[in-house]
Amino acid sequence: MSDIVDSRLANAFFANARVSVDLAGKDGRGDCSPLPKAISRQIDVRCRKQGGLWVGGKAVLTTATLSFAPNSMNQALHAAPEDLEVTISLANINNIVVHRGLITAVIEIRTGTGILKIKCFKAKAFATAIEAARLAAR
């Protein structure tokens, strides 16, 4: 098993993130949704506007991988929480770029198969740790 190098509470962006139909109140049972209509509408608006949702959870960097897993609230909230878990081999990372954000910066991790976006506090330091671990894993 790989050693943990760093970990952060983070948000990761997923284009395929969707709130569970049962929670969103769209299951034909009327107004018995656990989520208030205003919150459900706001999530839907943000999803359409951004092209997906930012999902809260934890990013873990090991000597061999970078992974993200949603927190328990997001596991309960989303329709397919297993689709919100990502593990990337450091050998598959091609590029890491940090973009300024409103409150926290966004780390863009590019691989041959796509892009993972993570935002967290001290993002530049986390991106530096990812890059160092990636170079050490070569």
Alpha-carbon gap, residue 45 to 65, rounded angstroms: 33
- Both 32 and 77 in a single domain? no
Q: Are residues 46 and 13 in the same domain?
A: no
Per-residue pLDDT of the chain (138 residues), as tens digits, is 569 999 999 999 998 777 765 555 544 444 445 555 555 555 565 555 666 888 999 999 999 999 999 999 888 887 888 889 999 999 999 999 999 988 999 999 999 999 999 999 999 999 999 999 999 998
Give the separation between CA 94 and CA 84, rounded to whole angstroms: 21
| Residue at token pair 């951004």 | 50
The Cα–Cα gap between 76 and 107 comes to 26
- Any bridge partners for residue 19, and if so which? 78
Q: Are residues 40 and 67 in the same domain?
A: no
Domain shared by 45 and 103, yes or no: no
> Are residues 81 and 27 located together in one domain of the fold?
no
Phi-psi sector, 89: left (phi>0), alpha (psi -120 to 50), beta:
beta
Q: Domains in the chain: how many in total?
A: 2
Residue 100's domain spans which residues?
4-17+56-136
Secondary structure (3-state) at 51: coil
Give pTM, 2 decimals.
Answer: 0.79
Residue 50: HSE in the Cβ half-sphere, 13 Å Cα cutoff: 18
Task: Tell me, yes or no, whether 29 and 90 share the same domain.
Answer: no
Judge if 35 and 98 occupy the same domain: no
